[in-house]
A and B are shown apart, each in its own frame.
Chain A
Amino acid sequence: MNLKDCHNFEDFRKLAKKKLPSPIFHYIDGGSDDETTLRRNTESFSDCDLVPNILASVGKPDLSTTLFGKKIEMPIFLSPAAMQRLYHHEGDLASARAAEKFGIFYSMSSVGNDTIEEVSEISKGPKLFQLYVHKDRSISDDLIDRSRNSGFDAMCLTVDTLVAGNREKDHRTGFTTPPKLTLQSLMSFAMRPQWVFNYLTTKKFELANIKNKTDKGTNIAQSVIDYINEQYDPAMSWKDAEYCVKKWNGPFALKGVMSVEDAKKAIDIGCTAIIISNHGGRQLDGSRSPFDQIQAIREAVGDKLEIILDGGVRRGTHVLKAIAAGATACSFGKMFLFSLAAGGQQGVEHLLQNMHDEINRNMVLMGCKNLKELNSSKLIYRK
C-alpha cells in the first residue's frame, strides 16, 4: 500500500498505521475513556441528509470564502496539532507547505517541534497560531509577541484542555514524548526502521517554541498527559482569555467552545471567531459532537462570529453539511496527521487534493454555485 492507494480517511489511517510505531499511531488514533464522543463526532453527520437542487447551471463552483480576514481557496484547514515531527520527520514544515499550496490556513501548535520563525520563513500562506495559557504567563506572552512579529494572521486560544483527557490507549502503549523505549514498545519501533532512522538522523526532537522557557517535554520523556497537567493553568478564566484577545489585537478565536452561553461570551470579550470542538473526542468523553451543536450556536450568535467546526470531518459531504448548518469553515486534525504520517508534505497535499475534489464534485451535485447558497434549506434531519 502506498500514497496513490489512499482515496479516503480510512486509507490514510491504514497507511499511517503501517508507517508509525504503534504508541505513536495510537496517540493520534485514540480518544478518551470509551471513545463514545470520538465516534459520535463523525456519526452525527449521518443524522441529516443533503437535498440537492437540479438544473442549477453550476459550471465551476466557487469554493472560496473569507476566514480571519483572509481569503481562503476552500472552506477547510489544518487544525493545530502538537509534535508533528513524531509523525513525519519534516513535521510542521511539511504541513505548512502543503497548506500554502492549496491556499488554506496552516495552524501551529504551542507545542510544535518547529519554531514560529522557521515556519514563517518557509510559508507565505495564511497562518493561525494556537495558544495554551501556561501557569508561567510569560510563556504565553512571548508566544503572542513572536507570532505577531512573524506575520501570523490569527490567534486561537484552546480552552478545553485545562486538564488532560483520560486517553487509555496511551496508558497501555506507554506513549511519552520524546518516545521512550519500553520492552512493550520496542518491537513496534524495531519493525519500523525507516521511521526510527528518520527520527534519529534529522533535527533533534524538541518543543521548539517553548524550549527556552521549560525543559518539560524536551529532555525528559514525559507523557502529554503529565505535560498538560503540570504546565497548563486550570484556573484560566474569561479575564485571562480577554487579556490574550487584547494583547493579540487581531482576528482571535476560542477553540473548544461547546455551549451557546460561552459562544455569546466570546463575542463580549472581542473574539472574531470560535472553534466548536471537543478536541477530537480526546478530552471529555460523553461531550456533545460539534455537528450536533452547531445550529444552536449559529442561531444564537448570528453573524457576529465566524464559526469553525472542528471534529469528525472525514468527507467533502461532511464539510457541506457543516456549512449548511452554519459553519464558516471546517478544520481537522486526525485526518491530516494520518496523511502526514503516510507521506509527509506529499501526503498532506494528496489529502487536500482529495478533499478539494470531493467538495467541488459535491457542490456541483448539490446545484450550488458558491458556499453562500449552501444554507439550512439544503439539510433535512432524520426523525
Chain B
Amino acid sequence: MNLKDCHNYSDFRKLAKKKLPSPIFHYIDGAADDEITYQRNTSAFDDVDLVPNVLRGVENVDLSTTIFGKKLDLPFYLAPTALQKLFHYDGERAVGKAAQKFNTMFGVSALATVSVEEIASLIDTPKMFQFYFHKDRGLNDAVMERVKAAKFDVMALTVDTITGGNRERDLRTGFTSPPKLTLSSLFSFATKPMWGINYLTRGKFELPHLQDHVGEGTSTATSVGNYFSTMLDQSMNWKDAENLCSKWGGHFALKGIMSVDDAKRAVDIGCTGIMVSNHGGRQLDGSRAPFDQLAEIVDAVGDKLDVICEGGIHRGTHMLKALSLGAKACSGGRLYLYALAAAGQAGVERAVNQYRLELERDMKLMGCNKISELNRNNLRFRRT
C-alpha cells in the first residue's frame, strides 16, 4: 500500500499505521476512556440526511468562506495539533506548506515542534496559534509576544485540557514525548526502521515555544497527559481568558466550547470565534459530539462570532452537514495527521485535495454554487 492507494480517511489511517511505531500511531488514533465520544463525533453525522435540489446549473462551485476576517479558499482548515515531527520528520513545515498551497488556515500548536518564526517565514497564508495557559505567567507572556511578532492572524485559547484526558492506549503503549523506549515499545520501533532513522537524523526534536521555560517535553520524556496535568494552570477562569483576549488585541477564539452558556460568555469577553470541540474525544469521554451540539450554539451566537465545528469529520458530506447547520467552517486534526504520517507534505496535500474534490462534487450534487447557499432546508433529521 502506498500514497496513491489512499482514497479516503481510513486509507490514510491504514497507511499511517504501517509507517508509525505503534505508540505513536495510537497516540493519534486513540481517545479518552472507552472512546465513546470519539466514535460519536463521527456517527453523529449519520443522524441527519442531506436533501439535494436539482437542476440548479452548478458548473462552477465556489468553496471559499471567510472566518476571522480572512478569506479561505476552502470551508475547512487544519486544526492545531501537537508534536508533528513525531509523525513525520518535516512536521509542521509539511502541514503549513500544504495549507498554503490550498489557501486555507494552518493552526500551530503551543506544543509544535517547529517555531512560529520559522512557520511565518515559510508561509504567508492565514495562521492560527493555539495557546495553552501555563502556570508560569512569564512563559504565557513570552509566547504571546513571539506569536504577535510573527504576525499570526488568530489566537485560539484551548479551554478543554485543564487536566489530561485518560488516554488508555497511551498507558498501554507507554507513549511519551520524546519517545522513550520500553521493552514493549522497542519491538514496534525496531520494525519501523525508516521512522527511527528519520527521527534521529533529521534535526533534534524540540518544543521551541516552551524550551526556554521548561524541561518538560524537551529532553525529559513525559506523557502529554502528564504535561497538561502538571504544567497548565487549573485555576484558569473567564477573567484570565478575557485578559488574554485583550492582551492579544486581534481575532481571538476559545477552542473547546460545548455549552450554549459558555458560547454566550465568549461573545461577552470579546471573542470573535469559538471552536465547538471536545478535543477529538481525547478529554472528557461521554461528552456531547460537536455536530450534535452545533445547532443550539449557532442559534445562540452564530450572528455574533464565527462558529467552527471541529471533530469527527471524515468526509466532504460531513462538512456540508455542519455548514448547513450554520458552522462558518470545519476543522480537524486526524483529518490530516494520518496523511502527514503516511507521506509528509505530499500526503497532506493529497488528503486536502480529496476533501476539496469531495466538497466540490457534493456541492454540485446538492445543487449549490456557494457555501452561503447551504442552510437547514438542506437537512432532515431522522425520526428518533
Chain A positions within 8 Å of B, measured between CB atoms, are: 33-34, 36-37, 40, 47, 159-160, 162-166, 168, 171-172, 234-238, 240-241, 254, 256-259, 261-262, 265, 283-289, 292-293, 381-383
| Closest CB in chain A relative to B86 CB, distance in Å | 29
Do B315 and A287 touch (CB < 8 A)?
A: no
Nearest first, the 5 A-B pairs at minimum CB distance are: A288-B49, A286-B317, A159-B54, A284-B365, A237-B57
Contacts beyond the supplied A33-B358, A162-B365, A258-B54: 15 A-B pairs with Cβ under 8 Å: A34-B314, A34-B315, A36-B46, A160-B54, A235-B57, A235-B59, A237-B55, A257-B54, A259-B377, A284-B317, A285-B317, A286-B45, A286-B317, A287-B52, A292-B49
Do B7 and A172 touch (CB < 8 A)?
A: yes
A164 to B360 alpha-carbon distance, docked (Å) = 11
Residues of A within 8 A of B242 (CB): none
Do A166 and B358 touch (CB < 8 A)?
A: yes
Tell me whether B382 is interfacial, beta carbon within 8 Å: yes
A256 to B365 alpha-carbon distance, docked (Å) = 10
Do A47 and B383 touch (CB < 8 A)?
A: yes
Of the residues B365, B377, B380, contact of A163 by C-beta under 8 Å: B365
| Closest CB in chain B relative to A34 CB, distance in Å | 7
Do A163 and B53 touch (CB < 8 A)?
A: no
Do A288 and B380 touch (CB < 8 A)?
A: yes
Interface string of B345-384 (1 = CB under 8 A from A): 0000000000000100110111000000000010010111
Residues of B within 8 A of A166 (CB): 358, 361
Residues of B within 8 A of A235 (CB): 57-59
Of the residues A171, A236, A286, contact of B321 by C-beta under 8 Å: A286
Interface residues of B in 311-345 (CB under 8 A from A): 314-315, 317-318, 320-321
Q: What are 9 inter-chain pairs, A to B, with CB distance below 8 A?
A: A159-B55, A163-B365, A234-B58, A235-B58, A237-B57, A283-B365, A285-B315, A288-B380, A381-B383
A10 to B251 alpha-carbon distance, docked (Å) = 56
- Residues of B in contact (CB 8 Å), total 33
Do A33 and B317 touch (CB < 8 A)?
A: yes
Do B320 and A286 touch (CB < 8 A)?
A: yes
Tell me whether B56 is interfacial, beta carbon within 8 Å: yes
Of the residues A47, A163, A257, contact of B361 by C-beta under 8 Å: A163
Do B49 and A259 touch (CB < 8 A)?
A: no
Tell me whether B221 is interfacial, beta carbon within 8 Å: no
Residues of B within 8 A of A162 (CB): 58, 364-365
Tell me whether B190 is interfacial, beta carbon within 8 Å: no
Do B366 and A284 touch (CB < 8 A)?
A: yes
| Closest CB in chain A relative to B105 CB, distance in Å | 25
Do B320 and A165 touch (CB < 8 A)?
A: no
Interface string of B152-194 (1 = CB under 8 A from A): 0000000000000000000000000000000000000000000
Do B380 and A238 touch (CB < 8 A)?
A: no
A2 to B276 alpha-carbon distance, docked (Å) = 55
Tell me whether B8 is interfacial, beta carbon within 8 Å: yes
| Closest CB in chain A relative to B5 CB, distance in Å | 8
Given contacts A159-B55, A236-B55, contact A165 B380 (CB under 8 A): no
| Closest CB in chain A relative to B178 CB, distance in Å | 36
Do B51 and A288 touch (CB < 8 A)?
A: yes
Residues of B within 8 A of A172 (CB): 5, 7
Residues of A within 8 A of B7 (CB): 168, 171-172
Tell me whether B50 is interfacial, beta carbon within 8 Å: yes
Do A236 and B49 touch (CB < 8 A)?
A: no
A351 to B315 alpha-carbon distance, docked (Å) = 36
| Closest CB in chain B relative to A10 CB, distance in Å | 23
Do A287 and B50 touch (CB < 8 A)?
A: yes
A246 to B122 alpha-carbon distance, docked (Å) = 59
Do B361 and A165 touch (CB < 8 A)?
A: yes
Of the residues B52, B317, B365, contact of A259 by C-beta under 8 Å: B52
Residues of A within 8 A of B383 (CB): 47, 381-383
Residues of A within 8 A of B317 (CB): 33, 284-286
Do B57 and A165 touch (CB < 8 A)?
A: no
Residues of B within 8 A of A383 (CB): 383-384
A254 to B362 alpha-carbon distance, docked (Å) = 20
Residues of B within 8 A of A292 (CB): 49, 380, 382
Q: Considering only CB atoms, which chain B residue lies closest to A158 in the complex? A: B54
Residues of A within 8 A of B365 (CB): 160, 162-163, 165, 283-284, 287
| Closest CB in chain B relative to A147 CB, distance in Å | 21
Residues of B within 8 A of A164 (CB): 361
Do B8 and A168 touch (CB < 8 A)?
A: yes
Of the residues B52, B314, B315, B321, contact of A160 by C-beta under 8 Å: B52
Residues of A within 8 A of B54 (CB): 159-160, 254, 256-259, 262
Do B58 and A286 touch (CB < 8 A)?
A: no
Residues of B within 8 A of A236 (CB): 55, 57
Of the residues A165, A234, A261, A293, contact of B53 by C-beta under 8 Å: A261
Do A287 and B361 touch (CB < 8 A)?
A: no
| Closest CB in chain A relative to B2 CB, distance in Å | 14
Which of A164, A237, A284 gathers most chain B CB within 10 Å?
A284
Q: Considering only CB atoms, which chain B residue lies closest to A278 in the complex? A: B52
Residues of B within 8 A of A256 (CB): 54
Of the residues B49, B55, B59, B361, contact of A262 by C-beta under 8 Å: B55
Do B380 and A284 touch (CB < 8 A)?
A: no
A2 to B309 alpha-carbon distance, docked (Å) = 51
Residues of A within 8 A of B380 (CB): 288, 292-293
Q: Considering only CB atoms, which chain A residue lies closest to B365 in the complex? A: A284
Residues of A within 8 A of B8 (CB): 33-34, 168
A62 to B57 alpha-carbon distance, docked (Å) = 43
A383 to B57 alpha-carbon distance, docked (Å) = 39
Residues of A within 8 A of B5 (CB): 172
A160 to B317 alpha-carbon distance, docked (Å) = 16
Interface string of B1-34 (1 = CB under 8 A from A): 0000101100000000000000000000000000
